[in-house]
Amino acid sequence: MLKRVAIVKATASLAEFVRHLHGDVLVLTEAGQPVAALVPIQEMDMESLAVGTSPKFLDVIERARRRHEQEGGISQEEMRRRLGLPASAKGKAAPPRLKSTRKPS
pLDDT tens by residue, 26-59: 999 999 999 999 988 888 888 988 888 899 999 9
Q: 18 and 2 in one domain?
A: yes
Q: Looking at residue 10, which CATH number applies to its domain?
A: 3.40.1620.10
pLDDT at 1: 84
- The answer to whether residues 33 and 68 belong to one domain is no
pLDDT in tens, 9-23: 999 998 999 998 888
Total structural domains in the chain?
2
Comparing 3 with 103, which gets the higher pLDDT?
3
Query: What is the extent of the structural domain holding 20?
Result: 1-40
Do 7 and 26 reside in the same domain of the chain?
yes
Is residue 3, in this structure, part of any structural domain at all? yes
DSSP 36-91: EEE---TT--HHHHHHHT-HHHHHHHHHHHHHHHHH----HHHHHHHTTPPPPPTT
Identify whether residues 1 and 32 lie together within a single domain: yes
Q: What is the rounded average pLDDT for all residues in the chain?
A: 85
28 touches 3 (CB < 8 A): no
